[in-house]
């Protein structure tokens, strides 16, 4: 019999098949998830590992629902669940608060749970909702500095959990047959509309407002609510897009963020709102395993267009620009040329030149520049949205089509140039370490290669 944790007055073990009222959608969905975290060892530990919570081979996860804690529950706030990670004699504990459907986490509710966590000596508060955090280490709800000192705050989106479970199944990371069946059933359940799990599918009203302002020649205030709301929505949508790419490719696709911005989300928000105000654009970079380069994506409010691109070093073993362009174009044989352009970057600080892929396929020599040889390329796909750019739902539909299409036509075929390993020089062989027979063979090869007449 498993004993209840010391902090609990009352609680039920999470059940894979919970007996709850039809109206308790959140409780039912959370119970199934927690039961899978406990029962499917690799899934539970990897999900916690993504949050930076380490576990060993002998670590064990226990989960509880309908929890009543020893301290603080009398105030009327009751978290949805409790997770305990047992590492030998040490336990790591986290309260769980879940929302499904359109329900969102609130600052007031989270403040109350953080206070309960502090009173009971609980390490963390994990929230789960359809809101998307920019990074696993960050949270979609802004909290005060005093609240954040009470316990660690962590967040999962339902779509993230569904994606990670799907990847574990498709990559055969769950070896135990029964555990595979359990995880597969959870994926089926979360994939059904009745579970209340959904993607980020609509930009906020401020998106249309900012788009109209830019088109009218107006300026965007970096410190205004509209700019911050638009950037926050961009974070959520690009996080959702990274999960879409992960499911398409069967690999984890990450958003590239500098260490400084990963550690300081306020600094990141400030930098991106400033970029929106000055350049009237938003940008993000996706890291896909084993690709030639990251995929950079931009949404340009002035041009009402989406751009996806990859930049690569030109092959140094090709001496002319024409030869280097030919090397690149051969990798793009399956790409549909409409909207695809090649930017050529030259030595020095000069600007790049640009040509449509169609032109370079027919005549690669048109890229030649007098006295210069191209040093790097950028393959750019431009998607002009026109009026759809300002439409809150249509923008997301177009973005979630454009980026996977770019990868399918271009990204998966590009290969980075790599210099060949140096070869041993013919005259560098030390006769003292080589047999007479080998010396004779090398000599014969040199004579034949240089057409030296035989004596």
Q: What is the pLDDT of residue 286?
A: 97
Closest CA to 55 of 94, 107, 16: 94
Q: For 162-199, how does the pLDDT look when each residue is reduced to its tens digit (9 = 90+)?
A: 999 999 998 889 989 999 999 999 999 999 888 888 88
Q: For 400-438, how does the pLDDT look when each residue is reduced to its tens digit (9 = 90+)?
A: 999 999 999 999 999 999 888 888 876 655 655 656 665
Residue with token string 């993000």: 284
Between the alpha carbon of residue 253 and those of residues 84, 115, 359, 406, the distances in Å are: 29, 35, 33, 15
What is the value of pTM for the model shown?
0.81
Which residue ranges in the chain fall short of pLDDT 50?
none
CA 270 to chain centre: 21
Rounded-to-integer distance, Cα 310 and Cα 406, Å: 10
Q: What is the pLDDT of residue 439?
A: 59
Paired residues of 282 in beta bridges:
299
Is 282 exposed, middle or buried, given 0-12, 13-18 or 19+ CB atoms closer than 10 A? buried
For the chain, percent of residues with pLDDT exceeding 70 = 91
């Amino acid at each position: 019999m498993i004993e209840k944790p010391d902090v609990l007055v009352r609680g039920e073990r999470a059940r894979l098949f919970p007996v709850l009222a039809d109206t308790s959608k959140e409780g039912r969905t959370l119970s199934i998830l927690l039961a899978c975290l406990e029962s499917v060892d690799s899934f539970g530990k990897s999900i916690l590992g993504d949050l930076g919570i380490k576990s060993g081979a002998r670590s064990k996860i226990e989960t509880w629902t309908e929890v009543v804690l020893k301290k603080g529950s009398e105030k009327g706030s009751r978290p949805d669940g409790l997770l305990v990670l047992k590492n030998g004699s040490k336990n790591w504990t986290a309260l769980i608060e879940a929302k499904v459907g359109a329900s969102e986490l609130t600052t007031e509710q989270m403040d109350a749970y953080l206070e309960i966590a502090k009173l009971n000596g609980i390490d963390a508060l994990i929230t789960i909702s359809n809101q998307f955090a920019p990074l696993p280490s960050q949270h979609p709800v802004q909290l005060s500095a005093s609240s954040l000192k009470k316990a660690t705050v962590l967040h999962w989106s339902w779509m993230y959990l569904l994606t990670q479970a799907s990847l574990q199944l498709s990559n055969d990371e769950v070896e135990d047959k029964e555990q595979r069946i359990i995880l597969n059933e959870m994926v089926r359940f979360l994939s059904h509309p009745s579970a209340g799990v959904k993607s980020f599918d609509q930009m906020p009203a401020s998106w249309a407002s900012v788009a109209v302002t830019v088109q009218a020649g107006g300026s965007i205030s970096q410190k205004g609510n509209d700019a911050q709301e638009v950037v926050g929505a961009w974070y959520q949508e690009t996080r959702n897009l990274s999960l879409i790419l992960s499911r398409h490719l069967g690999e984890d696709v990450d958003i590239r963020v500098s260490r400084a911005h990963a550690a300081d989300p306020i600094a990141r928000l400030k930098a991106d709102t400033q970029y929106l105000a000055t350049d009237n654009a938003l940008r993000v970079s996706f890291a896909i395993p084993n690709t030639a380069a990251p995929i950079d994506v931009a949404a340009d409010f002035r041009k009402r267009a989406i751009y996806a691109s990859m930049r690569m070093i030109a092959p140094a073993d090709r001496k002319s620009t024409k030869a280097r362009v030919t090397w690149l174009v051969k990798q793009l044989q399956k790409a549909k040329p409409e909207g695809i352009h090649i930017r050529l970057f030259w030595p020095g600080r000069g600007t790049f030149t640009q040509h449509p892929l169609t032109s370079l396929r027919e005549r690669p020599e048109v890229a030649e520049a007098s006295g210069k040889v191209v040093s790097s390329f950028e393959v750019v796909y431009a998607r002009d949205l026109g009026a759809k750019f300002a439409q809150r739902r249509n923008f997301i539909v177009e973005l979630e089509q454009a980026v996977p299409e770019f990868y399918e036509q271009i990204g998966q075929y590009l290969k980075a140039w790599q210099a060949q390993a140096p070869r041993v020089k013919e005259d560098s062989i030390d006769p003292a370490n080589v047999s007479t027979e080998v010396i004779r063979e090398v000599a014969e090869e040199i004579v034949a290669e240089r057409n030296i007449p035989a004596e």
